[in-house]
């Protein structure tokens, strides 16, 4: 499932949690707004925002830029503030905007981004470089259309590990999907629909899993003024209306499956197309250079350089598959959540997170007998301010 459709699915689920009864044309207007956003913003790139549905007021650093109608796209660095429209039962307006935020995702994961879906009565101000930090508020409901609620859904990409964002001075370490709401001089709530999260404010943290939520008090300026609450379950009884909104989600899922069936760079089959196909045989990894950040233990770079990696046999049978090579090299295999991509011919990537450490590879095919590569290791999720960048060569050994 693409991140766009996953976001749409979670939004409908969250609206079912907060809705009492769908009224009049409200469900149809909400569905139409999401469909219009998906269609208008299909090509959005990393660190960009897209105008999804009316109405949105934008304050931009460059006043010559246009962000006034569906499909308009601007760089996040140009956005100072966005104000979305709450539901208007007379006009049917309901503001929706889509953002792709890089946050702290490494450059070695090309194209990966955190998806923000802003909906309803939301006001957001950029407090960082490209929305990795922000202040926001959301409405508390709309008379006549409780389904058209307000908030921000945040979805982290699979394989990117824990992503850190700062909302209203609250640090959120997120690995999956959360729904954020906030009212001035009241509370900001982080409702986790799936995955794990850690919320930190005023020097104290709370960690919790999907199905739970945590709140932090904020002042009239939306700045945190207290510590996170104990995690509490999202009330189970509030999900009883979920079947009333699943038909739209099922239709979206079916369309996504059809689109993905023709994707030659899917996670399961990563092929080089018309690119180079290496020969089958014994392949030797040789570390060329290791760079370590200041927070790494002394001697770690030297130790990584001297670690011997035994040659491993890989059989490609006419097509290069990075998973085949890595499984042959890794004793005991790799974790199940490894994400493989093929962004361009002869360039392949993989990434996964284990025990808080995020590892990502980029492999480039040079010839039938040679490959070059680079991998990074980010240990911040494991409590270490340490990052490694390793370059290496992979060569076919003589028979």
Backbone angles phi, psi at 24, to 5 degrees: 50, -130
Where does 161-270 have alpha helices with state H? 246-260
Q: Is the dihedral of CA 279, 280, 281, 284 positive or negative?
A: positive
At 363 the pLDDT is 86
| pTM confidence score | 0.59
Residue 134's DSSP bridge partners are 126, 167
Taking the C-alpha atoms of residue 354 and residue 16, their distance in angstroms, rounded to an integer, is 33
Q: DSSP alpha helices (H): ranges in 93-151?
A: none
* pLDDT confidence of residue 40: 87
**Residue carrying the six token digits 């001297």:** 306
- CATH fold for domain 3-260: Jelly Rolls (2.60.120)
Dist CA 380 CA 329 (whole Å): 26
Give me 247's structure tokens.
């038909």
Tally of CB atoms within 10 A around 62: 9
Q: Which two tokens stand for residue 218?
A: 């904020």
Give the number of other CB atoms < 10 A from CB of residue 164: 18
- End-to-end, the C-alpha distance of the chain in Å comes to 43
Backbone angles phi, psi at 387, to 5 degrees: -135, 135
Task: Quote the distance between the C-alpha of residue 135 and its chain's center.
Answer: 19
pLDDT recorded at residue 308: 64
Output the tens digit of pLDDT for each of the chain's 399 residues: 334 444 444 344 344 433 333 344 677 777 788 888 888 888 899 999 999 998 999 999 999 999 999 999 999 999 999 999 998 877 778 899 999 999 999 877 877 899 999 999 999 999 998 999 999 999 876 655 666 788 899 989 877 789 999 999 999 999 988 989 999 999 999 999 889 999 999 999 999 999 899 999 999 999 999 999 999 998 664 333 322 322 322 332 333 344 443 433 333 333 334 478 888 888 888 888 888 888 887 777 777 676 666 777 878 777 777 776 676 665 555 655 677 787 778 888 888 777 677 888 888 989 989 989 888 888 777 777 888 888 888 899 887
Domain ranges of the chain: 3-260, 281-396
């Amino acid at each position: 499932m693409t991140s766009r459709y996953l976001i749409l699915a979670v939004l409908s689920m969250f609206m079912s949690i907060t809705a009492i009864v769908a009224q009049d044309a409200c469900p149809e207007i909400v569905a139409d707004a999401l469909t219009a956003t998906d269609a208008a913003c299909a090509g959005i790139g990393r660190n960009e925002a897209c105008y999804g549905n009316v109405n949105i007021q934008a304050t931009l650093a460059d006043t010559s830029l246009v962000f006034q109608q569906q499909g308009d796209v601007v760089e996040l660095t140009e956005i100072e503030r966005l104000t979305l429209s709450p539901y208007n039962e007379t006009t049917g307006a309901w503001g929706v905007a889509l953002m792709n935020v890089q946050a702290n995702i490494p450059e070695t994961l090309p194209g990966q981004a955190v998806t923000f879906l802003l909906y309803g009565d939301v006001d957001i101000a950029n407090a960082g470089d490209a929305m990795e930090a922000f202040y926001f508020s959301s409405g508390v409901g709309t008379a006549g259309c409780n389904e058209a609620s307000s908030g921000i859904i945040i979805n982290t990409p699979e394989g990117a590990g824990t992503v850190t964002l700062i909302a209203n001075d609250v640090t959120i370490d997120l690995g999956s999907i959360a729904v954020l709401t906030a009212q001035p001089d009241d509370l900001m709530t982080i409702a986790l629909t799936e995955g794990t999260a850690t919320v930190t404010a005023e020097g104290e943290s709370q960690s919790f899993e999907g199905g739970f939520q945590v709140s932090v008090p904020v002042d009239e300026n939306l700045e945190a003024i207290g510590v996170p609450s104990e995690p509490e379950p999202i009330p189970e009884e509030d999900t009883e209306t979920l079947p009333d909104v699943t038909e739209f989600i099922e239709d979206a899922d079916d369309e996504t499956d059809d689109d993905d069936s023709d994707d030659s760079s899917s996670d399961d089959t990563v092929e080089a197309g018309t690119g180079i196909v290496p020969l089958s045989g014994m392949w030797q990894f040789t570390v060329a250079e290791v760079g370590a950040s200041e927070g790494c233990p002394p001697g770690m770079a030297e130790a990584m350089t001297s670690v011997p990696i035994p040659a491993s046999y890989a059989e490609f049978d006419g097509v290069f598959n990075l998973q085949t090579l890595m499984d042959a090299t890794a004793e005991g295999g790799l974790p199940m959540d490894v994400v493989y991509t093929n962004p361009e011919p002869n360039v392949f990537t993989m990434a996964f997170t284990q025990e808080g450490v995020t590892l990502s590879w980029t492999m480039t095919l040079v010839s039938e007998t040679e490959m070059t590569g680079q991998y990074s290791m980010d240990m911040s999720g494991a409590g270490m301010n340490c990052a490694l960048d390793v370059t290496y060569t992979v060569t076919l050994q003589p028979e």
